[in-house]
Amino acid sequence: MRLTDPVADMLTRVRNALHARHQKVDIPASRLKLEIARILKEEGFISNFKPTEEDGHKVIRVYLKYGANNEAAISKAERVSRPGCRVYVRRTEIPRVLGGMGINILTTPRGVMTGRQARREGVGGELLCEIW
């Protein structure tokens, strides 16, 4: 089966695993998904991730993070730009997520970064997703 939107698949797998209270989730690997996982770890939404190989397929093992009362660190993960309707923003149009409590992830000419980093570096790009 060929996925048309691998980023949406990644977010859905993470959401489903959090809902089922799993400790980790395996996601088919790609460079873009590795960058998204790196940002999620840097921003404190997941505890860790590890690129690995299972049955000859490269996967990213994402270790999920829960708070003191077993509440998930990610309460919402939404895809913004979709294959059927891409969303591009200028550096001045990058939205703030929940007044700075959440993050958005962009692909820019300088790589994958959060909206905050993109604003600081003065670059726009494709608005992949919002997480809070």
* Beta pairing, strands 103-108 & 125-131: antiparallel
CA distances from 29 to 24, 59, 65, 70 (A): 15, 4, 20, 28
DSSP code for 75:
S
How far from chain centre, in Å, is Cα 67?
A: 19
- Output the tens digit of pLDDT for each of the chain's 132 residues: 677 999 999 999 999 999 999 999 999 999 999 999 999 999 999 999 999 999 999 999 999 999 989 899 999 999 999 999 999 999 999 999 998 899 999 999 999 999 999 999 999 999 999 999
| Confidence (pLDDT) at 100 | 84
The confidence score (pLDDT) of residue 1 equals: 62
Q: Which domains are assigned to the chain?
A: 6-64 (3.30.1370.30), 77-131 (3.30.1490.10)
Tell me the pTM: 0.94
What are the tokens at 55? Answer: 């049955």
